[in-house]
Structure 1
Amino acid sequence: MEQLTVSVSAAAKALGLGRTTVYALIKQRKIETIKVGRRTLLTTASLRRLINDETAG
């Protein structure tokens, strides 16, 4: 089964960005998040969409 969410740290590492930059993208609503308790998880679908949007134009 494919992983549907990742942590902020895991997303930052996968994207080659810092955590602060990932939080900025979240604030700009370019990445969708889900709160589970105190954890902020990012949807892998929104990360793929971000990558596709950035490479497309």
Structure 2
Amino acid sequence: MPKNTSLIFQISGMATTLIYDRIALRDCVAEGKSVFEWKDAKAKAEISALMEEVFRG
């Protein structure tokens, strides 16, 4: 793939990581914070797992 191709075009397939509809995700966005600045460990773990899958394969 060409070097100037954006990341979105380099990702193929679907993610297998599950992200649940958690109130914590809504609350942290409403407060202007990331899930990593919030107190819900499960929400942090889900987003961390998704990031790991997307960026490390």
Q: Relative to total residues, which structure has the larger strand share, 1 or 2?
A: 1
Q: TM-score, normalised by structure 1?
A: 0.30
* Higher Cα radius of gyration: 2
Q: TM-score, normalised by structure 2?
A: 0.30
